[in-house]
Amino acid sequence: QVQLVESGGGLVQPGESLRLTCAVAGVLLDDYAIGWFRQAPGKEREAVACISHAGSRNPGTYYEDSVKGRFTISRDNAKNTVYMQMNNLKAEDTAVYYCAADLAPPTTIEAMCIFGKWVHWGQGTQVTVSS
């Protein structure tokens, strides 16, 4: 059974940084694409950043436009962990952040991030950016 546990959220001021962690248990992380999503109050959930699985025919990452240059997704397959470094945080980044996993999706990571039906989800971690 796949289990995803997010951590690293918190309250920070604009311009500060956080690193979110998604610990994956129950499966071999190599085989899974991982995505970070967020949902702000009153808004729909949106994709933030995604990273392809090892051995993908279309390896790479995807970032939503508003986070490009500020957020970085990375994975440590040996630790079964995925990270998202978030720099220069803004008030509009405030949301609950979720990580999701899907087994070796055949599409590009961009398509998977934007349109994919992710099977496994974590419980979320709150990020609040406020002065």
Q: What's 41's DSSP letter?
A: T
Q: List pLDDT tens digits, range 11-66.
A: 999 999 999 999 999 999 999 999 999 999 999 999 999 999 988 888 899 999 99
What the block records as the tokens of 65 is: 């436009």
The alpha carbon of residue 64 and the mean position of all alpha carbons in its chain are separated, in whole angstroms, by 11
The C-alpha atoms of residue 95 and residue 91 are separated, in whole angstroms, by 9
Q: What's 35's DSSP letter?
A: E
Q: List pLDDT tens digits, range 65-112.
A: 999 999 999 999 999 999 999 999 999 999 999 999 999 888 999 999
Residue 117 has pLDDT above 90, yes or no: yes
Residue-level pLDDT at 105? 87
